[in-house]
Structure 1
Amino acid sequence: MADNEQRYVSLRPAGTSEKRCIMRHALGYYRGLVVAGRYTAPEGFPLGAKESFYPALKHCISTHPMLSAAIKGELTEAPELIRPETINLRNHVEITQPVTIPAPADDENDTHAELEAIKPLLCHAHDQQFPDVSRIPPWKIVVIPITTTTNNTTANSAPTHGPTPPTFWLLFSYSHSHGDGPSGLSFHRTFLSALRHPSTTAAPSTATTSLSPADPTYRTQPTPALLPPIEQTTTLPVTWPFLLLPVASSYLPSALRQSSLFTSKHLFFRASVTPHRPDAWTALPTSYPDPSDPTRLATGVAVAVAAPATVRGMLKRCRRHGGVKLTGALHGVIVRALSAALPPNANASSPSSSSFVAQTSIDLRRLMPRFGAELAGERNWDGAVGLCVSAAYHVFARDEGDVEAVGGDGGEDVFWHRARETTRCLAERASTLVDQPIGLLRYLKGFRAWLEGQVGREREGSYEVSNLMAFEPDGQGEEGGEGEKRGGGWEVGRMLFSQPANVTGPAVNFNIVTRKGGDMVITLTWQKGVLGVEGDEDVWAKGVCEGLERGMRALAGVQ
């Protein structure tokens, strides 16, 4: 049977959040989400061979059923998740040419040089739509080997390359329909476990899913079933006030919605749950470059890094100011960095830009019901690959304070008050299923018309923060520090989280992940050409990230 004629099993209809993400990807508005890790392999590992990664990928697919799901009817209003009879892993592994990094002067320069070197490959992964999703599940890994040119060379000697053992970045790129940010961490945890313990993870699946570990064909199994969509796992109650504002807005003529009657402080209809501020910076209106040429959509990426000492210092400072969590404090640093990079009249469509509308991703996994051992693998969301996120919204005034004075113990009471209030708001939204924005999606009947109708409109948000917190592989840090030895020489030393251009989303995204005990990496991502800033967008974004780094060091008390 030809590959494009293979049989498949119907799994279930896509859930409402999945429908939104499926349609968004099909239209090209949001493509490859990436969670990446910097891996160290045992010496002699054949890094350039795709088949080296097949056994670990087979274990990941057997552990996370969503990785075996393709999509039937992606451009319809009733897409279905299906499971192909076989999966050709050649379609899911890409190995790039090695990236060579000049020998660094110090660890901080090493980190920045390496992240800058892989950035073009990261952007390329972001901008690709997954092909043939009706037969190929929409995900892949991109392996980027890293070599380093040493400085101990003379005029008559050639530079040496390393390092030994092999080092590489592994980008897990996937459609948002198949997973959220925490799903990417779950993938890397499972993948690393399979690499460290090949005898215990590969043997059971290899016997039933392929002819040999190096065989690229994965034969899918009837079980386990997919997790049900979030709205079928639990209830997402919506109160009448939360429902009526966006619903009523969609039925009122735009001229009436914009009249003083409906925009007064007493009565305000809006088309979404995002707070509306006419003085907020929202960059240029949403746009899609050219529907007939999807390659013209491009993602911009800039990077900020907090060294381990800075991360520890920020956490310590937050604990000293009771009631403040790091994400709440980082919002304050971001607002100050953006305020420094944007003049008050930065947005040509607004008389001023004196505020920022922020969106924060909320992981709802801990609110999902728990099931007993018999159903744990099929029904529990802990560590699962899938879509289980919502969002919280905030409005922040511009902050003209010095970014290098962020969080100082003298004269920064306003900063800490805002950080404490943001923390309280996030904790409240993360503790309830009532009035979650994703609960409104069930009232939406036409996802395509809704998404296409957002193009050309003013953006609803200034920026988004998505913090995956700390990545710690299972089994790390066991007594005697023998985790790496027991893991066969495999290690993940740094993590990176990055989102693609989001046509209908906020102007910029700040994507955060920390390797426990290691660096925190923040990527600033945006759709190129929409920021509306003076000069080069990449230079502007780099300046924002430099401000973030100065602000984080100030927050930590580290210079």
Structure 2
Amino acid sequence: MLSAIVLNEDQRDSEVYFARLRSIDLETCVEFIERRHTVKAGDRDEELELLFSDQHRINFREDIGSKPFWRLVILQNPGDQSTFTAAWFFHHALGDGGCGPIFHRTFLECLRTNASSRSVTEPSSIVTPPSTPLLPKFEDLHPHPISWPFFLRAILGSIFPSLFDPRAPNLWTGPPVTAPDPLPGSKVHLLPLSASTTTHLLKSSRENNTTMQATLECCIATALFSVLPADSYDKLIASGPISLRSVLRHEGKPIGNDDFALALAEYTHTHTRASHPSSTEKFPWDEARAVRATIQAELAKKGADNVVSLLRYVSDMHKFFTEKVGQERKVSFELSNLGLVRAGADAGDGWSLGRCVFSQSPNITGPPICCSVVTGGDGCCVLAFSWLEGMVEDELLSAVVASVERQIQGLVGEED
């Protein structure tokens, strides 16, 4: 998760520039890097994509016990100290995606406080963290109710998958799960939308009684159907996280907006080719409304009968995942949307939050394509597509991104 500005550059030069990130032993959890070029707003940031790909490869278990499960990389614009990119990478065990904006809001507040302070003190390399106790784990903050029918179906589905959890015919979920050694690297492709496009897309979604999440999900599904062979694949399963932060209570009170927590449920929605015309035809608003209904139904359950709650019954997590090797994946793609990052009012003469990007490292047993979305303080929405090398062909992913962009521009054109 980060705030950013953008610039195109030759990819081969970028790879050479960032190669040193793979070879140095970081002395601290904070690193400063000078960009090779100043970023131009609105362009695709290939330099940032390469940084993401590099950071996604770094295992948090390295130097375990001596470093926290987070890293901060500051990208500085050449010759410009007034603008920089703060890229904060953290392990999912520390919190869910919604914790990224919490860090950036706090970081921004510190910048503004220091900028307005009249006293200047010598910075110290030794920082004493606050003694504020962390929230209890998710299992202690939420009851995770599971009904017997849901529980029995999950158990029987794991034992007799062909009977109780049959795979739909002609469903595309990428290649089966493999365990290559060494593990493949990840790739990232950013699709930035202008503030005007973002506003029109949100307005169009609301006018058609749906949400930005549902609209973007239908764009990705339509794009995949346009590149997959029609005679082989006519179904896709999309998944997305649902925040349960609003239903959590600690010591009788709702948890705060700035409390770190890992509190997620999951929804899934099956898309059929018949419900998705080609990207050059009319947009499938009926399907977008169906996605919204799926999400609302899951939200209404407030975390009950959700697959996430079943993880507490897994006694050996390593075995749970290694047993997936050779199996087909369950989901075609994941869409995670943090919405708008609100950073508070800008006084006009201090620091402000601009472009934001949200990215996740792909899960080797998860969906072949992951799309992470966030809208920053500049009003621009950015879609970050990530995938593992060898799991999805780069050409297929590029075609999907191009199709998504065409569909969005078509919707914006209809608004204009």
Please state which band the TM-score falls in when normalised by the shorter chain.
Answer: 0.7 to 0.9
Q: Gaps spanning 5+ residues in structure 1: where?
A: 1-34, 41-88, 148-161, 204-211, 263-267, 271-275, 346-351, 408-414, 477-482, 532-536
Partner of residue 337 from structure 1, selected from 213, 223, 243: 223
- Write the letter of the residue equivalent to 2:287: R
Structure-2 residue corresponding to 1:554:
410
Matched ranges for 1:344-493 at <5 A: 344=230, 352-369=232-249, 380-398=255-273, 401-407=277-283, 415-431=284-300, 432-476=302-346, 483-485=347-349, 488=350, 490-493=351-354
Structure-1 residue corresponding to 2:137:
229
| CA distance 1:342–1:146, change in 2 (3 Å) | farther
Structure-1 residue corresponding to 2:84:
168
Give the percent of matched residue pairs that are identical in Structure 1 and Structure 2: 27
Structure-1 residue corresponding to 2:13:
none
d(CA) in 2 for partners of 1:465, 1:443: 26
d(CA) in 1 for partners of 2:359, 2:125: 28
Q: Could you give the per-residue CA deviations for residues 488-516 of structure 1, whole angstroms, max 9, x where no partner exists?
A: 2x122100011112101101011101115
| CA distance 1:308–1:359, change in 2 (3 Å) | same
- Write the letter of the residue equivalent to 1:506: P
Q: Could you give the per-residue CA deviations for residues 135-156 of structure 1, whole angstroms, max 9, x where no partner exists?
A: 3211011112234xxxxxxxxx
Helix, strand or coil at the partner of 2:187: strand
Partner of residue 53 from structure 2, selected from 102, 117, 123: 123
Contact 1:509 1:526 in 2 (8 A): yes
1:421 deviates by 1.5
- Write the letter of the residue equivalent to 1:334: I
Structure-2 residue corresponding to 1:328:
214
Structure-2 residue corresponding to 1:303:
190
d(CA) in 1 for partners of 2:126, 2:239: 41
Contact 2:244 2:264 in 1 (8 A): yes
1:342 deviates by 1.7
| CA distance 1:257–1:371, change in 2 (3 Å) | closer
Q: Gaps spanning 5+ residues in structure 2: where?
A: 7-25
1:234 deviates by 2.1
Structure-2 residue corresponding to 1:99:
36
d(CA) in 1 for partners of 2:386, 2:171: 19
d(CA) in 2 for partners of 1:337, 1:269: 27
Matched ranges for 1:69-218 at <5 A: 91-101=28-38, 107-108=41-42, 111-112=43-44, 115-130=45-60, 131-147=62-78, 162=79, 164-198=80-114, 214-218=123-127
Contact 1:302 1:538 in 2 (8 A): no
| CA distance 1:244–1:344, change in 2 (3 Å) | same
d(CA) in 2 for partners of 1:123, 1:530: 15
1:530 maps onto 2:391 in alignment: yes
Matched ranges for 1:241-256 at <5 A: 241-250=149-158, 252=159
Helix, strand or coil at the partner of 1:449: helix
d(CA) in 1 for partners of 2:299, 2:122: 42
Helix, strand or coil at the partner of 1:319: helix
Structure-2 residue corresponding to 1:508:
369
- Write the letter of the residue equivalent to 1:289: P
Contact 2:354 2:377 in 1 (8 A): no
**Count of matched residue positions in the alignment of Structure 1 and Structure 2:** 393
Helix, strand or coil at the partner of 2:134: coil
| CA distance 1:454–1:484, change in 2 (3 Å) | farther
d(CA) in 1 for partners of 2:70, 2:161: 41
| CA distance 1:195–1:280, change in 2 (3 Å) | same
d(CA) in 1 for partners of 2:259, 2:122: 24
d(CA) in 1 for partners of 2:142, 2:379: 36
TM-score (norm 1): 0.66
- Write the letter of the residue equivalent to 1:336: T
1:521 deviates by 0.4
| CA distance 1:95–1:406, change in 2 (3 Å) | farther
Helix, strand or coil at the partner of 1:425: helix
Q: Could you give the per-residue CA deviations for residues 396-436 of structure 1, whole angstroms, max 9, x where no partner exists?
A: 012552324453xxxxxxx1111111112112212312112
Contact 2:53 2:188 in 1 (8 A): yes
- Aligned-residue CA RMSD (Å): 2.7
Matched ranges for 1:255-334 at <5 A: 257-258=161-162, 262=163, 268-269=164-165, 276-290=167-181, 293=182, 296-322=183-209, 324-334=210-220
d(CA) in 1 for partners of 2:5, 2:30: 16
1:219 maps onto 2:128 in alignment: yes
d(CA) in 1 for partners of 2:228, 2:53: 25
- Write the letter of the residue equivalent to 2:71: K
TM-score (norm 2): 0.87
Q: Could you give the per-residue CA deviations for residues 17-67 of structure 1, whole angstroms, max 9, x where no partner exists?
A: xxxxxxxxxxxxxxxxxx111279xxxxxxxxxxxxxxxxxxxxxxxxxxx
Contact 1:304 1:548 in 2 (8 A): no
d(CA) in 2 for partners of 1:420, 1:541: 26
Q: Could you give the per-residue CA deviations for residues 376-409 of structure 1, whole angstroms, max 9, x where no partner exists?
A: 7xx72422223111210110012552324453xx
1:541 deviates by 1.6
Contact 2:193 2:380 in 1 (8 A): yes
Contact 1:405 1:551 in 2 (8 A): no
Contact 1:357 1:461 in 2 (8 A): yes
Contact 1:465 1:511 in 2 (8 A): yes
| CA distance 1:199–1:318, change in 2 (3 Å) | closer
1:317 deviates by 1.4
d(CA) in 2 for partners of 1:100, 1:246: 52
Contact 2:236 2:272 in 1 (8 A): yes
d(CA) in 1 for partners of 2:138, 2:250: 13
- Write the letter of the residue equivalent to 1:383: D
- Write the letter of the residue equivalent to 2:127: Y
